[in-house]
Amino acid sequence: MNSQNAEGGRKIVAKNRRAWHEYFIDETVEAGLVLTGTEIKSIRAGKVNLQDAHARVENGEAWLHGLNIAAYDHGNRFNVEPARRRKLLLHRREIDRLLGRAQERGLTLIPLSIYLRNGFAKAEIAIARGKKLYDKRQALADREARREVERVMKDRSE
């Protein structure tokens, strides 16, 4: 995906589409990523997988677990383990707020997207509450109803 957004040179590299289906998103925060070696080159090439990623606050620091950044093709010995945990760059008050919210029953921290802003890799982290099966069915029914209404309105306008 090479979508370029007008706000601040934001280029979305990877999105976690499944997160919107499986969770209710309460709030989001932007965090920088600490990368080593050739990881930024792999991110620029779009070789990122957010599928099983989640964030945690450990010892007063925020970490992103399960983010898979594929090894850079021309990286040789400078490549690092693709699925290692990566530190998130946040202000102390943001970490404290995330920790407080994440400790509430049923809330978790998940990444929604990885993008480049002015050449720096950023992650959009969300405080989310897991959906139950009936919530997912309701969201699907709402989406189908909205599509049907849009289709009927389009047919009438033609």
Question: Among 87, 84, 133, 128, which Cα is nearest to 109's?
Answer: 128
- CA separation, residue 106 to residues 101, 103, 132, 154 (Å): 10, 8, 11, 41
The predicted model gives 20-44 an average pLDDT of: 88
**Residue entry with tokens 């709402």:** 142
Identify the band that residue 123 occupies on the pLDDT scale cut at 50, 70 and 90: very high
Q: Could you report the per-residue pLDDT of 56-112, keeping only the tens digit for each?
A: 999 989 999 998 888 887 777 767 777 888 999 999 999 999 888 888 888 889 999
Structural domains of the chain, count: 1
Residue 88 lies in a domain: yes
Identify the band that residue 139 occupies on the pLDDT scale cut at 50, 70 and 90: confident
Q: Is the predicted pLDDT of residue 7 greater than 80, yes or no?
A: no
Which CATH number fits the domain that encloses residue 60? 2.40.280.10
Whether 117 contacts 93, CB under 8 Å: no
Predicted confidence at residue 6, as pLDDT, reads 47
Residue ranges making up the domain that contains 50: 3-131
Query: How far apart, in whole angstroms, are the C-alpha atoms of residue 2 and residue 17?
Result: 16
Sequence-ordered list of residues with C-beta below 8 angstroms from that of 41, at least 6 positions apart, any chain? 72, 75
Residue 150 lies in a domain: no
Query: How far apart, in whole angstroms, are the C-alpha atoms of residue 51 and residue 33?
Result: 17
